[in-house]
Chain A
Amino acid sequence: MERYRNKEIECMSREDMKKLQDERLVAQVKHVYANVPYYKKLMDEKGVTPDDIRSTADLYKLPFLSKADLREAYPYGLLAKPLSDCVRIQSTSGTTGKRVVAFYTQHDIDLWEDCCARAITAAGGTKDDVCQVCYGYGLFTGGPGLNGGSHKVGCLTLPMSSGNTERQIQFMIDLQSTILCCTPSYAAYIGETLHEMGYTTDDIKLKAGIFGAEPWTEEMRREIEKSLGIKAYDIYGLTETSGPGVAFECSEQTGMHINEDHFIAEIIDPDTGEVLPEGSKGELVFTSITKEAFPLLRYRTRDICVLTREKCSCGRTLVKMSKPLGRSDDMLIIRGVNVFPSQIETVLIEQGYAPNYQIEVDRVNNSDTLDINVEMSDDKFSDMVKDIQQKERDLAAAIKTMLGISPKVHLVPPKTIARSEGKAVRVIDKRKLQ
């Protein structure tokens, strides 16, 4: 039996949902125009006033926001409420130059947690469940979001955060966790460790997992489901829109339902910005219609996906998004962390290397690997192997400080990095995710 957190909303007729979205959008645009000078300026430049936005049909008239705007407006430029009304910030991976800080009022937190609660409920969670949250806690939205959602559902919540896998498994066994929330690669790792420690799925009580924050495949889903003896559900979100819970999977496991009472989704052509019809593959754009403190209108996620309104067997009428099929920029998601090649380039220059490098990403045993080949220069070269290896380690440490994840650095002779049409190929992503 399918469970709903809020059946009225989740199964609302399209007509009623559109009416709700229309009302909320009109009010939100007024709120933003009056309180966010940065966005007001964008609207003024485009010649749009709040009066031009009468329903979701007028959404296309509004200007887009992108990560570049968020950086330019950092930290307070897109804030729509006085700081005294805000109770929390969360931030993206915290990587220099690309940091995004999002603000929340208590109301925003409640809505966000409610979205996560819908995801947990759709995965079968009730107040009788024990929910083990192994997403990172802190600035990252994963831990706080699912933690709050778990509280809202009434689960007994285990705020484990990530890491210390043997302890995770001990808690899982001793406290009989039934729901696991983490990144899919960590779930795979927990499964592996469980078996290495000599346990089987008979020793644990897990029934479902809610996994997100990084791309994963159907194959990986099946592996995790088998190794942990669970049903694995996908969840989607980004700090800019609140965090996880913007969209969540139901028992059908064929895409994620978007919480349309809070977010209007559009698919656009990433090159022209033109809105594409339902079923087209394009860039996902979100408009927050209920957020108070940090309400982004037409935020370009850079995720490429497809939206569908085909009838879902779960009974929900909320539009479904496919798993992201790729990115419209050069961002990579490695071990759940957003990585821009430009960040690696910055470190190389700081450390006195020429920015000739190649990033190789792969997935070995369900865990992402990051190898970076960097071209050696005369002044870094030494006749001793240990010196060169030390330089590789130093560079890896500097990159780790920047990205938050450890790469393997390989110094290679100049001009050995493959170039195509004179331009170096910066990224080789060998992960087969589609």
Chain B
Amino acid sequence: MFIKQISIFVENKPGRLSAVTKLLAENNFDIRALSVADTKDFGILRIIVNKPDEACEALKKAGWTVSITNVIAIGINDDPGGLSAAVECLYAANISVEYMYAFISKSDDKAYVILRVDNNDRAAEALAENNFRILRSSEVYDV
């Protein structure tokens, strides 16, 4: 049910991000979604790829500091208010969203939202109860 997200620690310097994307491209990993959090000193690149375990190994082998985090992906209607309802549902269940990012699916009109929350199980429960569609990992990895 949960999606494996790879996080990579990158220096906030020119060329660091491209070094990661180049490595992934050379090894034929497909990036499904990504987001970057950055500070003055460092950035955290978060990516969803088609083969997370292999990609993680390849990055580690190349000397990158990486971690895998389970995140939730939901499909919502690509309309005004679609995202708001999902966030409200989590808020009502007293779950805090650490960060999130979204991408548009190619197969349907849905927007896919990646949610990093403080409690995956409770978040999944709350979302399911409110009839949000939680994506299976295969749906995300093989978009």
Q: Is A201 an interface residue (CB 8 A)?
A: no
Inter-chain contact A411/B42, CB cutoff 8 Å: yes
Stretch at the interface among A76-84, A178-186, A225-233, A382-390: A382-390
Chain B residues with CB under 8 A of A415: 63
Query: Smallest distance from the beta carbon of B21 to chain A beta carbons, Å?
Result: 16
Report the Cα distance A416→B116, complex, angstroms: 29
Stretch at the interface among B7-15, B24-32, B79-87, B128-136: B7-15
Chain A residues with CB under 8 A of B119: none
The contact of A413 among B7, B65, B69, B98, by CB within 8 Å, is B65
Task: Report the contact-size class of chain A (Cβ under 8 Å from the partner).
Answer: 10 to 19
Chain B residues with CB under 8 A of A412: 11, 41-42
Report the Cα distance A416→B12, complex, angstroms: 12
Query: Smallest distance from the beta carbon of A384 to chain B beta carbons, Å?
Result: 6
How would residues 288 to 317 of chain A score, 1 for a CB under 8 Å from any chain B CB and 0 otherwise? 000000000000000000000000000000
Query: Smallest distance from the beta carbon of B14 to chain A beta carbons, Å?
Result: 14
Inter-chain contact B39/A413, CB cutoff 8 Å: no
Q: Which residues in chain B, 49-78, are within 8 Å of chain A measured between CB atoms?
A: 60, 63-67, 69
Given A378-B67, A413-B64, A415-B63, A383 and B39 touching (CB < 8 A)?
no
Chain A binding surface SS class:
loop
Chain B residues with CB under 8 A of A377: 65
Query: Smallest distance from the beta carbon of B6 to chain A beta carbons, Å?
Result: 9
Inter-chain contact A383/B116, CB cutoff 8 Å: yes
The contact of A383 among B10, B42, B63, B69, by CB within 8 Å, is B69
- The residue in chain A whose Cβ has the minimal distance to the Cβ of B64 is A413
Q: Is A376 an interface residue (CB 8 A)?
A: yes
Report the Cα distance A1→B38, complex, angstroms: 63
B interface residues, tally (CB under 8 Å): 21
Inter-chain contact B65/A383, CB cutoff 8 Å: no
Q: Is A410 an interface residue (CB 8 A)?
A: yes
Report the Cα distance A389→B38, complex, angstroms: 12
Q: Which residues in chain A, 396-425, are within 8 Å of chain B measured between CB atoms?
A: 410-416
Q: Is A74 an interface residue (CB 8 A)?
A: no
Report the Cα distance A385→B7, complex, angstroms: 11
Query: Smallest distance from the beta carbon of A396 to chain B beta carbons, Å?
Result: 13
Inter-chain contact B5/A376, CB cutoff 8 Å: no
Query: Smallest distance from the beta carbon of B39 to chain A beta carbons, Å?
Result: 6
Inter-chain contact B39/A385, CB cutoff 8 Å: yes
Which of A377, A411, A413 has the most chain B CB atoms closer than 10 A to its own CB?
A413
Query: Smallest distance from the beta carbon of B44 to chain A beta carbons, Å?
Result: 6
Q: Is A199 an interface residue (CB 8 A)?
A: no
Given A378-B66, A383-B69, A413 and B9 touching (CB < 8 A)?
yes
Q: Is A60 an interface residue (CB 8 A)?
A: no
Q: Is B101 an interface residue (CB 8 A)?
A: no
The contact of A389 among B39, B69, B99, by CB within 8 Å, is B39
Q: Is B37 an interface residue (CB 8 A)?
A: yes
Report the Cα distance A389→B10, complex, angstroms: 14
Chain A residues with CB under 8 A of B41: 410-412
Inter-chain contact A376/B44, CB cutoff 8 Å: no
Query: Smallest distance from the beta carbon of A418 to chain B beta carbons, Å?
Result: 13
- The residue in chain B whose Cβ has the minimal distance to the Cβ of A373 is B41
Chain A residues with CB under 8 A of B42: 388, 410-413
Given A385-B37, A385-B44, A416 and B11 touching (CB < 8 A)?
yes
- The residue in chain B whose Cβ has the minimal distance to the Cβ of A411 is B42
Chain B residues with CB under 8 A of A388: 9, 42, 44
Query: Smallest distance from the beta carbon of B60 to chain A beta carbons, Å?
Result: 8
Given A389-B39, A413-B9, A413-B11, A383 and B44 touching (CB < 8 A)?
yes
Inter-chain contact B39/A376, CB cutoff 8 Å: no
Given A389-B39, A411-B42, A412-B42, A381 and B66 touching (CB < 8 A)?
yes
Inter-chain contact A378/B5, CB cutoff 8 Å: no
Chain A residues with CB under 8 A of B46: 383
Query: Smallest distance from the beta carbon of A385 to chain B beta carbons, Å?
Result: 5
The contact of B10 among A378, A410, A413, by CB within 8 Å, is A413
Report the Cα distance A376→B7, complex, angstroms: 14
Chain B residues with CB under 8 A of A416: 11
Inter-chain contact A382/B67, CB cutoff 8 Å: yes
Report the Cα distance A384→B97, complex, angstroms: 11
Chain B residues with CB under 8 A of A410: 41-42
Inter-chain contact B11/A383, CB cutoff 8 Å: no
Report the Cα distance A381→B44, complex, angstroms: 10
Which of B10, B39, B65 has the most chain A CB atoms closer than 10 A to its own CB?
B65
Task: Name the 5 nearest CB pairs between A and B, nearest first.
Answer: A383-B7, A383-B69, A381-B65, A385-B37, A410-B41
The residues of B with any CB-CB pair to A shorter than 8 Å are 5, 7, 9-11, 37, 39, 41-42, 44, 46, 60, 63-67, 69, 98-99, 116
The residues of A with any CB-CB pair to B shorter than 8 Å are 376-378, 381-385, 388-389, 410-416
**In the complex, given contacts A378-B60, A378-B65, A385-B37, what are 4 additional A-B residue pairs having Cβ atoms less than 8 angstroms apart?**
A384-B44, A384-B116, A385-B44, A415-B63
